[in-house]
Amino acid sequence: MNESQPETAGSGAGRVGRTSRDGRPHCPRSGVPSAGKGFRVGKLALTFDDGPDPRWTARLLDVLGDANARATFFPIASRAAACPGLIDRILAEGHEIGLHCDEHIRHSERSIECGRRDTARALRLLASVGVRPKLWRTPWGDTASWSAQVADENRLQIVGWTVDTHDWRGDTAGQMLRATKDDLRDGAIVLAHDGIGPGALRADARETIDYTARVAEHAVAAGLELGTPS
């Protein structure tokens, strides 16, 4: 996003209309679009949106490497194009990169023509750094009546999440783990953010990186593989 603000999962056409008391979008744990078609039993997926960030994505990759874990990144395309070395590292270390967006705007607030243009720009930028995505996480997980059509046109699978860390708020790693641990099970897809954007209530992604290390420990204890949704 211009993000680190919460992403709100869409369900079918249009956005989820609920908001929290402070006016921020409410983030349900279910109702996600296509949360992992064909997802293998015994597998837990960590996904990270809105990067890459030269500092925090690099540190996150260190943690994932130490845990021998694979993750999926959904970067903002202009940020990806500005960090070709980091994108090369993500791919070289066995992670997956999907499409997120070029401009972080809800699909329900766009026409199909605007959606097609943004998708085309984002795909061109990703291609410039060697990425040809198969997965698509729409901004805020929001979908419109045209989202599936544009996905089909570009041979993309829309992927949501089942576990939301709400890491944009600045919660500690311990708080996030306590809030999500019961949902870290077979087939779960975890939403977190390696990028920091306007509206975030945190100054950095330090706690997200700590949370990732703790989830990796949990996965080992639970006999789960940290892999990708595809």
pLDDT digits (tens, 9 = 90+) for 85-118: 999 999 999 999 999 999 999 999 999 999 999 9
Residue numbers annotated as active site: 49, 193
Question: What residue spans of 74-153 are helical by DSSP H?
Answer: 77-82, 84-92, 112-128, 147-153
What is the domain class of 43-227 according to CATH? alpha beta
Structure tokens at 71: 């993750």
Q: What is the pTM of this model?
A: 0.85
In this model, does residue 23 exceed pLDDT 50? no
User: What does the DSSP 8-state code read for residue 102?
Assistant: S
Question: How many Å is the maximal CA-CA distance in the chain?
Answer: 47
- The verdict on whether omega for the bond into residue 52 sits within 30 degrees of 0, i.e. cis, is yes
With b meaning 16 or more CB within 10 Å and e meaning fewer, what string describes 89-123? bbeeeebbbbbbbbebbbbbebeeeebbebbeebb
Mean pLDDT score across all residues of the chain: 86
Structure tokens at 24: 């921020």
Residue 166 phi, psi dihedral angles, 5° rounding: 55, 35
